[in-house]
Structure 1
Amino acid sequence: MQLSIVIPAYNEEEVLPRTLERIQVAVGAQHLPQAEWEIIVCDNNSDDRTAELASGLGARVVTEPHNQIARARNTGAAAASGKWLLFIDADTWPDEALMKDVLAIIGEDQLIGCGSTIRIEGGTLFNRLRMERINPVFRILNMSGGAFLLCRRDAFDAIGGFSENLYALEEVDLQYRLKKYGRSLHKGFKVLHAHPVATSGRKGEIRFSSILRMIVSNFMAIILFLLYFILPKKYIGKVGRKMLGYWYKR
């Protein structure tokens, strides 16, 4: 099997059906045989119909009881059969052109992984403008948000997957380690810009209901990420959950 698409999902009954349908259309347009790809939804302790809807729409459902996106992604990856892992958030919608680029990367097998520039759909104008300011930074740093992230399965396993000590910026940490590992294999990492992946504006609306909260929460996340390289790892999980636990609320 070439590709496993892993979707972490916590109480996502409202948006997950659209995501699954969008993925099926986007991948189906590439004429990839069904036996060569799969969708895995990791139900992250939901108390709604997330698992039921995912199963009904053709996804394989696994469960991660600990409510943390890094654990959910790792649990989904552990159940995957593909040589490549594509992590997509439950409220993120790739189009046919982006999936064509992804499958080209898989076919060429010259990279360790890739991400995508993000386009906010819906939400406030402020939230959409915020992402427009962040995307140029992603280009400069050759970094991607966690909403859409592809990597080789063997590389993911070799670096230990997503750090479960982090409750924020776990995708940045993964890319840092992925790139380091890729250099030893002479394989790079690329951020795709031609066809930005669409994602829901609700993330910003929930987390950043005011400009002050946005500034404070982003500052806290950066501080936490820096502490990751300083403090013993056993303390990071407790600190992160306390500082950024509201990121996991609906």
Structure 2
Amino acid sequence: MISFIIPAHNEARLLGATLQSLREAAGVLAEPFELLVVDDASDDGTAEVAQATGAQVLRVEHRHIAATRNAGAEASTGDWLVFVDADTLIDAAVLAAALQALRSGAVGGGARVRMQGKVAWHVRLATAFFACVFRLTGIAPGCFLFCTRTAFERAGGFDTTLYAAEDVALSRALAKQGSFVILREPVHTSARKLHTFSAWEHLKLVLRFAWRRQHMLTSREHLDLWYGKRRD
């Protein structure tokens, strides 16, 4: 069975479409599945939206993406784990490719990412560039990461010393166990961070990371891109 694990903090606006896309993709493929939304300290209608679609809801108070994803994995029951961000849409084609990879012996993988909505040409170019980098380096963007439960447990789950880039760490840990694939089929994710945060704020984040490197990822202090309260 597939366990779809969706971490969510104040995601009432976009969560419904994500859950519907997962339900439809699994339905087209006639695959057994469960939907588990890990509601991390939301104060909007996230839980109500999840329940309205028939998803299970697990309430946590972490405000820590790695710990939240791990809590979902622990509460799930499927043999295959698919971690999907609450603002990301997948279709039957990418899900079928992921399952085929697992059935062919891969321990896990990810997919290319395309931005939804109207996005400037240079942003699309940058997205395509980073997609190639991720594919060449074997890193799965956290908005869509799949693996076997066995491989996930052997990897120790998401690294809870990290408040960001936990997807990079898990990708590397899984790749040490066997084949880790980045699919050609894309998923579609929200471009809201590009609208919510200015180009200058994105640049400052990159410069801070270049200066502090790994130390920057072990605290929420400079990670407003993920933990700030602003939304478009």
Same fold (TM over 0.5): yes
Which of the numbers 142, 160, 180 marks the counterpart of 1:189?
180
The 1:162–1:37 alpha-carbon spacing in structure 2 relative to 1, beyond 3 Å, is same
Matched AA of 2:13: E
2:49 corresponds to which residue?
53
Amino acid at match of 2:60: E
2:9 aligned with 1:3 = no
1:222, 1:151 → 2: CA distance? 30
Given the alignment of the two structures, is residue 217 of structure 1 paired with residue 208 of structure 2, yes or no? no
TM-score, normalised relative to structure 2: 0.91
- State the distance in 2 between where 1:222 and 1:188 align: 30
For 2:190, give the aligned amino acid. Answer: S
Cα distance in 2, alignment partners of residues 248 and 176 from structure 1: 24
1:1-250 alignment, distance < 5 Å: 2-32=1-31, 36-108=32-104, 110-125=105-120, 126-180=122-176, 182=177, 187-193=178-184, 195-206=185-196, 208-210=197-199, 212-221=200-209, 225-227=213-215, 237=218, 240-249=219-228, 250=230
Residues 130-157 of structure 1, C-alpha deviation per residue, up to 9 Å, x if partnerless? 2122111112212121000001111211
Q: Which amino acid aligns with 1:121?
A: Q
Question: Identity over aligned residues, as a percent?
Answer: 37
Number of aligned residues: 228
Offset of residue 29 of structure 1: 0.5
TM-score, normalised relative to structure 1: 0.85
CA RMSD of aligned residues (A): 1.8
Q: How many angstroms does 1:81 deviate by?
A: 0.3
Q: Is the 8 A contact 2:51 2:57 kept in 1?
A: yes
**SS of corresponding position for 2:61:** coil
Larger mean Cα displacement after TM superposition, 71-80 or 122-131:
122-131
After TM superposition, give the deviation of residue 248 of structure 1 in Å: 1.2
1:18-64 per-residue CA deviation (whole Å, 9 max, x = no partner) reads 011111111110012xxx31110000100000011101101110012
| Cα 1:201–1:192 shift into 2, 3 Å | same
How far apart are 1:107 and its partner, in Å?
2.8
Shift in Å, 1:218: 2.6
Q: Give the Å deviation of 1:247.
A: 2.2
Quick one: which amino acid aligns to residue 216 of structure 1? K
Could you list the runs of 5+ residues in structure 1 that have no partner in the other structure? Answer: 229-235
Q: Residue 63 of structure 1 contacts residue 75 of structure 1 at CA under 8 Å; is this kept in 2?
A: no
How far apart are the structure 2 equivalents of 1:204 and 1:6?
24
Shift of 1:95: 1.2
Measured in 2, the distance between the counterparts of 1:58 and 1:85 equals 18
Instruction: Tell me the distance in 1 between the aligned counterparts of 2:163 and 2:89.
Output: 23
Q: Distance in 2 between the 1:39 and 1:175 partners?
A: 22
1:39-92 alpha-carbon deviations (Å, 9 max, x no partner): 100001000000111011011100120111111111111101011110000000
SS in 2 for 1:47: coil
